[in-house]
Structure 1
Amino acid sequence: MTRNIRKEQAAETREKILEAAKSLFAEKGYHGTPVREITRKIGMGDGILYHYFPGGKREIMAVLLRESFEHRREGIKQIQRVVEGLDLRDAMITIKRRLYELFTEDMDLTRILFRENDLLGFEEAEQLTVLIREQCAIFEKFLRERHEKGEIRALDFRIASRQFLSTTLHAIMSKSVGIQLLNEPDVYKHMEENVDFTIDLWRIPSATEKKPKVLLCDSQ
């Protein structure tokens, strides 16, 4: 029983250190946050931090990034499963909503990713690019399958995938920096408008639209 309590206490302390560091990294930046400030935030000495994270601040950042990407990668897999049985419009709206929520549910970490990604040089930080590329590939496959079902016309699916997902990334960045970058302040309404506009561009032309226009000339 005592051993289990100690394990729980250790896990709780580790989590407190991670949460304190994440909050400070988001507020002051990685390089602007000394170890002492992290331990002061949780009311403990510097030694306790190195007990749980021998690599210090660098190891903490690596753990935060790694655990974040594991969570988000699993979230993307869940999105794939959810949209399989949905019609095209509902599926596309769900993809946008879920991705947006997946990245904005923890704004501290999202701000760290956008702010520090080019500065840190962590191998884990590069996973943001990898994750985005993976999602583009997944959505490209989704579009090909919907084309085979006759729901959309033939496209450059790779470019279409990147273009569609970039609008979601735009919304995430808007929330991250706290600047209104969207034309529509209601982000979910903006998503629906974007999906409707995109589907209209991708839809298969009707028979009437396919017919060439015949120009009638006045008789001489």
Structure 2
Amino acid sequence: MTPKSDLTVNQRHEQAAETRQNLLDTAKRLFAASGYSLTSIRSISKALNMSDGILYHHFPGGKKEILSVILHDGLQKSLSTMNSLNDELENLPLRDALDKIYRQGDMLFTADLDLMKILLKESDNLELNETHLLAETIQERINWFAGFLARRHQKGEIREMNFAIASQHFLAVSINNLMAKLLRIELFGKLELTADRQEIIEHTLALWKNS
């Protein structure tokens, strides 16, 4: 049986973790809505009805540390989720794999629009290593997809081409889709719509097929 004192320690750890996450979630919402510069420590604390001291207890570096954690954790989570599906994509028929890549990208990058809004608003204003993580995340995905296409070529499914450029072109559709949602504008197609997604994939496969 777990000693009562240990239960108390565990409960404290759980409560501290919950408070920390609530601070991150609230700060992310406020940063996305008002911008980093216009969001004060007091406004974050007030939104949770807590003292500034509690916030600094969890984040001694204040706003900058909070922003750093939000960006780092959010982008690492997205990249980890995408990478976890790589083996499954390798074994799918090519058309199905491309469809899943688009659906996966739309789900991951647009599921947390607040995170993307912060990156869009603050990347030019803040000198944070995490502001470069989005570019690194996208580049890592481009490199993986270029290798994926090369392996499909070896199987005879597509022609030989510059796989790095083909990868950039294919994944750029996901980036355009994300930007359209952030800016609330209509572009050439919506990846969440099956008909639009399939039309893009069929056109791409026609360009890639063996002559």
- 2:25 aligns to what? 19
Q: What CA deviation, in whole Å up to 9, does each residue of 1:167-208 have, x standing for no partner?
A: 111011111222222345964432221111000011012xxx
Flag the structure with larger Rg: 1
User: Structure 1 residues 103, 185: CA separation in 2 closer, same or farther (over 3 Å shift)?
Assistant: closer
1:9-33 deviation line (CA, Å, top 9, x unaligned) = 1111101100110000010111111
Secondary structure, in 3 states, of the residue corresponding to 1:118?
Answer: coil
3-state SS in 2 of match to 1:72? helix
Q: Summarize deviations over 1:67-106 as a string: whole Å, max 9, x none.
A: 1122112112123122111111100111111011111111
Partner of 2:196: 190
1:120 aligned counterpart, secondary structure = coil
Equivalent positions of 1:103-118 (< 5 A) are: 103-118=109-124
1:158 counterpart letter in structure 2: A
Please, which runs of 5 or more residues in structure 1 have no aligned partner?
A: 206-220
Q: How many pairs does the alignment contain?
A: 205
Q: Does 1:147 align with 2:168?
A: no
1:57 corresponding residue in structure 2? 63
Q: Which residue of 1 aligns with 2:207?
A: 201
Q: CA RMSD in A?
A: 1.4
Equivalent residue number for residue 89 of structure 1: 95
Percent of pairs with identical residues? 41
Decide whether the 8 Å contact of 2:191 with 2:197 is kept in 1.
Answer: no
CA distance in 1, matches of 2:46, 2:205: 52
Aligned counterparts, 1:162-177, within 5 A: 162-177=168-183
Query: What are structure 2's unaligned runs of at least 5 residues?
Result: 1-6
* TM-score, normalised by the number of residues in structure 1: 0.89
Given candidates 47, 50, 54, the residue that maps to 1:48 is: 54
Q: Which residue of 1 aligns with 2:4?
A: none
Contact 1:79/1:98 (8 A) holds in 2: no
